[in-house]
C-alpha cells in the first residue's frame, strides 16, 4: 500500500468526525450562533418579530430606565451575594461537622442533600406554603403567645427576596456541602496530626491551614453557585410570581416576560445580553486562572 | 512484647476511651440534628398537609399532624385538579413528562457518549477547540439562546412538539454529558484501545464491543443526571413543548398558582409531592451514584 493511497486529509478519521457532528453543530450553531444572533438583535427595534432595524443602544437606555429592570438587578445582587456567602459558609460548616468521624454520617448527608433532587418549582411551592402567614410559621409563633409576632416575608415588598433566599438555600446548600466534604476528605491526615502536635486549636487549623488548601474546591463551588444565581427563574415564578408588585422580579424573568408575553423582543434581547456580560465577567477571570495554571503546571 | 509482666505498666495504654456524652459530642450532634430538622421540615409539612381535609387546615397550622387522615387530596391532585384551563389533574402532565423523559434521556446519552468517545480516543484537528466552546456554552445563560432556538425549531417544523423539546434537552445536556464520558473513556487503559485496533476493529466496533461493556457505571451516572435534570425542567417545557405537551412541573405550577377558585392547599401539596416523587425515588435508590453524578457536574472545565 503506497502513501498515495491514503485518503485526503479531511476524510481521515472520518467516523470520528461524523460522530462529532452533533457536538460541532451544537457548539457552532447554538452556543456561538444563537448567542451572536441575540446580541446583534439587541441593537434593533424588534417588537413582535425580530427585525434588523438598527436603533443603536436605545434598547439598553430603555432597559436601564425601567423600574422593573432596576428592581430585578437589585434583587439578583442581594440574592446573589447572600446566597454565595450563606451557601459557602453553611455548606462548609455542615461538611466540617460531618467530617468529625461521626455516626450516621450517611443518614445526615442524605437528609442535607435530598432537596437538591427536587425542582425549583417544588421548592418554591413548598416554601410558599411554609411561609404562608395564615397557617405557617407566623401563625405558630403567634399561637405560642407572641401575638405581635410578624413573619410574612412573601407578603412584604422589602423582605420578599429574602423569603426566596431561604428556599434557594434549602435547595442548594446540600450540594455545596458535598463539594466541601470531598475537598476536606482530600486533605492529608498528616496535616491534622501535625497541627495537633503543635497544639493549634481546631478552628485555627481550619481557617489558616485547611481552607487555603481547599482553594480549588472553593473556586469551583463559587463558579457553580454564581452561574446558578444568574439563571434563577423557576424558583421566583413558583414561589412569588415576581410579587408583591414587582418586588421579587429577577432578570431571567424579565427576559422571558418581554420575549414571550409583552411582545417586546428588543428589550428581552438587551436584557439577556446584559445577563451574558455578567456571566462573562465571572467566567473569564476564572478561566484565565484555571487554564493559565494548567499551562504552567 | 505481647505480655507485660505485672507491675511494669505505668499507666493505661491505647487511646483514651472517649466519653459518649462529652460536651463536644452534644454540641456536634445537637447542631447536626437541628440542621437536619430544618431540611426535613418542608417534606414533613408537605406530607402532613396533603393528608388533611380543608376544614382541618383552616383551623390548625401547617405543622399539626392530621387528626383524620384522608387520601382524597391525592386522588384529586392526580385526576381532577384544575389548571385554569382544564380540570384533568396532574396525570396528563405526568405522562407528558414520561414521554419527554424517555427519548430525551436515550438520545442525549447516546449522542454524548459517542462524542466523548471520539474526543477521548479519536482526536482530530479542532476537536479540542469545539469541546472548549461546548464547555463554555454550559455557562451561557439559557435566556440568551432561547429565542433563536424558537426560530430554528419553527423552521424545522418542531416548535411546540415533543420532538423539539427532546432536541433542546439533547443540546443543553451535551456539555456536561460529553465531559463526563470523555473523562471516563480517557481514564480507561489505552492498551485496551490499541489492542482492539491491532485486531482490526474500527471506530464503531471498539465503541460497542470494548468501550460500552466497560462503562456501565458511567452510563448509570449519566442516566441519573439526565432523569433528575429533565424531570425538573420548567423553562424549556413552558417554551418549547406547547400547551398539549406541558410537562408535570409546568402543570403543577399552573394548578397551584391558578388564580381561579378557592385555594385547596391539601390538593396543592399532594400535587407537589407527586411531582417531586420521581427525582426523590431516583435519589434514594441511587444513593452514592447520585452524589457522583452531581459531583461530575462540579468538575467542569
Does residue A206 surpass a pLDDT of 80?
yes
B235 closest CB neighbour out of A27, A179, A233: A233
Phi, psi dihedrals of residue B133, rounded to the nearest 5°: -60, -40
What average pLDDT does the structure give for chain B? 87
What is the mean pLDDT of the segment spanning A113-139? 90
- B144 contact residues in A (CB cutoff 8 A): 34-35, 38-39, 272-273, 275-276
Which residues of B7-84 form beta strands (DSSP E)? none
What is the tens place of the pLDDT at every residue in B241-254?
Answer: 988 899 999 999 99
Does A241 sit within 8 Å of B257, measured CB to CB?
yes
Please give the share of chain B, as a percent, with pLDDT higher than 70: 90
Q: For residues A111 and B11, what is the distance between their CA atoms, to the nearest angstrom?
A: 43
How far apart CA B225 and CA B296 sit, in angstroms, is: 9
Of B31, B115, B133, the CB nearest to A19: B115
Q: Is-contact B90 B255, C-beta < 8 A?
A: yes
pLDDT of residue A170: 95
The residue among A37, A119, A143, A248 with the most chain B CBs within 10 A of its CB, best to mutate, is A119
Mean local confidence (pLDDT), A33-45: 94
Q: What is the mean pLDDT of each run of 10 residues along chain B (301 residues)?
A: 48 62 86 93 92 86 85 89 81 93 96 94 89 88 94 93 94 92 89 90 91 89 91 94 92 86 87 94 85 61 32
Give residue-wise pLDDT tens across range A148-191: 788 888 888 889 999 999 999 999 999 999 889 888 888 888 88
3-state secondary structure of A274: helix
Contact A26 B294 (CB under 8 A): no
The set of residues, in sequence order, having a beta carbon less than 8 Å from that of B99 and lying 6+ positions away, is B162, B245
How far apart are the C-alpha atoms of B233 and B178, rounded to whole Å?
A: 20
Q: What is the pLDDT of residue B253?
A: 92
List the single residue in B145, B249, B265 with the smallest CB-CB distance to A121. Answer: B249
State whether A15 and B35 contact (CB < 8 Å): no
- Could you give the CA distance from residue A105 to residue B70 in angstroms, rounded to a whole number? 35
A-chain CB neighbours of B143 within 8 Å are: 231, 251-252, 255-256, 268, 271-272, 275
- Residue B138: other Cβ atoms inside 10 A: 18
Q: Which of B100, B86, B71 is nearest to B254 (CA)?
A: B86
pLDDT for the residue numbered B290:
78
Q: What pLDDT is attached to residue A189?
A: 86
Distance in Å from the first CA to the final CA of chain A: 43
- Considering only alpha carbons, which residue of chain B is nearest residue A269? B144
**Domains of chain B (ranges, CATH numbers):** 92-300 (1.10.3720.10)
Contacts of B235 in chain A (CB under 8 A): 233-234, 256
CB A147 within 8 A of CB A186: no
What distance in Å separates the CA atoms of residue A53 and residue A40, rounded to the nearest whole number? 11
Predicted confidence at residue B274, as pLDDT, reads 94
CB contact under 8 A, A15 and B204: yes
User: For B195-246, what is the HEC assignment?
Assistant: HHHHCCCCHHHHHHHHHHHHCHHHHHHHHHHHHHHHHCCCHHHHHHCCHHHC
Tell me the C-alpha distance between A86 and A229, whole Å: 13
What are the structural domains, with CATH classification, of chain A? 60-296 (1.10.3720.10)
Q: What is the pLDDT of residues A58-111, one digit of tens each?
A: 999 999 999 999 999 999 999 999 999 999 999 999 999 998 888 888 899 999
Mean pLDDT score, A212-219:
86
Can you tell me the distance from the alpha carbon of B269 to that of A126, in angstroms, rounded to the nearest whole number?
7
Residue B7, pLDDT score: 47
pLDDT digits (tens, 9 = 90+) for B65-112: 888 888 988 998 898 888 777 788 899 999 999 999 999 999 999 999
Q: For residue A44, what are the β-bridge partners?
A: A54
Contacts of B248 (CB under 8 A, 6+ apart): B90, B93, B94, B96, B97, B231, B274, B275
pLDDT value at position B300?
A: 39
Contact between B159 and B153 under an 8 Å Cβ cutoff? The reply is: yes
What is the Cα–Cα distance from B131 to B216, expressed in whole angstroms? 23
Q: CB atoms < 10 A from the CB of B198, how many? A: 8
Crossing angle of helices B23-50 and A120-130, in 10° steps, is 90
* Residue A120 pLDDT grade (very low, low, confident, very high; cuts 50, 70, 90): very high
Amino acid at each position: 500500500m503506497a502513501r498515495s493511497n491514503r485518503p485526503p486529509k479531511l476524510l481521515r478519521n472520518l467516523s470520528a468526525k461524523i460522530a462529532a457532528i452533533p457536538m460541532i453543530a451544537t457548539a457552532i450553531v447554538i452556543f456561538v450562533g444563537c448567542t451572536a444572533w441575540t446580541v446583534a438583535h439587541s441593537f434593533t427595534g424588534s417588537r413582535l418579530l425580530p427585525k434588523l432595524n438598527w436603533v443603536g443602544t436605545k434598547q439598553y437606555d430603555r432597559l436601564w430606565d425601567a423600574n422593573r429592570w432596576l428592581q430585578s438587578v437589585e434583587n439578583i445582587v442581594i440574592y446573589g451575594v447572600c446566597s454565595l456567602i450563606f451557601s459557602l459558609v453553611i455548606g462548609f460548616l455542615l461538611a466540617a461537622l460531618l467530617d468529625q468521624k461521626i455516626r450516621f454520617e450517611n443518614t445526615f448527608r442524605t437528609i442535607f442533600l435530598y432537596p437538591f433532587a427536587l425542582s425549583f418549582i417544588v421548592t418554591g411551592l413548598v416554601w410558599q406554603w411554609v411561609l404562608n402567614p395564615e397557617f405557617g410559621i407566623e401563625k405558630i409563633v403567634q399561637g405560642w403567645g407572641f401575638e405581635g409576632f410578624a413573619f410574612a416575608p412573601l407578603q412584604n415588598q422589602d423582605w420578599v427576596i429574602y423569603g426566596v433566599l431561604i428556599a434557594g438555600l434549602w435547595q442548594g446548600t446540600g450540594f455545596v456541602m458535598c463539594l466541601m466534604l470531598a475537598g476536606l476528605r482530600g486533605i492529608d491526615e498528616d496535616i491534622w496530626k501535625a497541627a495537633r502536635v503543635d497544639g493549634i486549636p481546631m478552628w485555627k487549623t481550619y481557617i489558616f491551614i485547611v481552607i487555603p488548601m481547599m482553594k480549588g474546591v472553593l473556586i469551583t463551588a463559587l463558579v457553580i453557585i454564581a452561574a446558578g444565581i444568574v439563571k434563577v427563574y423557576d424558583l421566583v415564578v413558583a414561589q412569588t410570581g415576581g410579587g408583591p408588585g414587582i418586588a421579587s422580579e429577577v432578570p431571567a424573568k424579565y427576559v422571558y416576560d418581554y420575549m414571550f408575553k409583552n411582545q417586546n423582543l428588543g428589550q428581552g434581547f438587551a436584557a439577556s445580553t446584559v445577563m451574558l456580560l455578567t456571566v462573562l465577567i465571572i467566567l473569564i477571570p476564572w478561566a484565565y486562572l484555571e487554564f493559565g495554571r494548567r499551562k504552567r503546571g | 512484647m505481647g505480655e507485660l509482666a505485672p507491675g511494669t505498666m505505668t499507666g493505661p495504654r491505647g487511646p483514651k476511651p472517649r466519653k459518649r456524652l462529652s460536651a463536644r459530642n452534644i454540641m456536634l450532634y445537637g447542631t447536626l440534628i437541628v440542621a437536619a430538622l430544618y431540611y426535613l421540615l418542608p417534606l414533613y409539612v408537605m406530607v402532613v398537609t396533603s393528608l388533611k381535609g380543608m376544614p382541618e387546615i383552616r383551623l390548625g397550622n401547617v405543622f399539626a399532624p392530621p387528626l383524620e387522615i384522608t387520601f382524597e387530596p391525592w386522588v384529586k391532585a392526580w385526576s381532577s385538579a384544575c389548571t385554569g384551563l382544564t380540570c384533568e389533574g396532574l396525570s396528563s402532565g405526568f405522562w407528558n413528562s414520561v414521554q419527554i423523559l424517555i427519548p430525551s434521556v436515550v438520545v442525549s446519552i447516546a449522542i454524548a457518549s459517542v462524542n466523548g468517545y471520539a474526543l477521548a480516543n479519536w482526536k482530530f484537528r479542532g476537536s479540542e477547540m469545539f469541546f472548549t466552546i461546548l464547555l463554555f456554552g454550559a455557562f451561557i445563560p439559557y435566556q440568551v439562546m432561547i429565542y433563536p432556538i424558537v426560530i430554528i425549531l419553527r423552521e424545522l417544523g418542531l416548535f411546540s412538539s415533543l420532538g423539539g423539546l427532546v432536541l433542546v434537552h439533547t443540546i443543553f445536556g451535551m456539555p456536561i454529558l460529553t465531559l463526563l464520558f470523555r473523562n471516563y473513556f480517557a481514564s480507561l487503559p489505552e492498551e485496551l484501545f490499541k489492542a482492539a485496533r491491532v485486531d482490526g476493529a474500527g471506530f464503531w466496533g471498539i465503541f460497542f464491543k470494548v468501550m460500552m461493556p466497560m462503562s456501565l457505571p458511567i452510563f448509570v451516572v449519566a442516566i441519573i443526571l439526565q432523569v433528575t435534570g429533565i424531570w425538573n425542567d420548567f423553562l424549556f417545557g413552558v417554551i418549547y413543548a406547547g400547551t398539549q405537551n406541558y410537562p408535570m412541573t409546568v402543570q403543577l405550577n399552573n394548578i397551584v398558582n391558578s388564580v381561579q377558585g378557592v385555594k385547596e392547599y391539601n390538593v396543592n401539596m399532594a400535587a407537589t409531592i407527586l411531582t417531586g416523587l420521581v427525582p426523590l425515588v431516583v435519589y434514594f435508590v441511587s444513593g452514592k451514584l447520585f452524589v457522583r453524578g452531581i459531583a461530575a457536574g462540579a468538575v467542569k472545565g
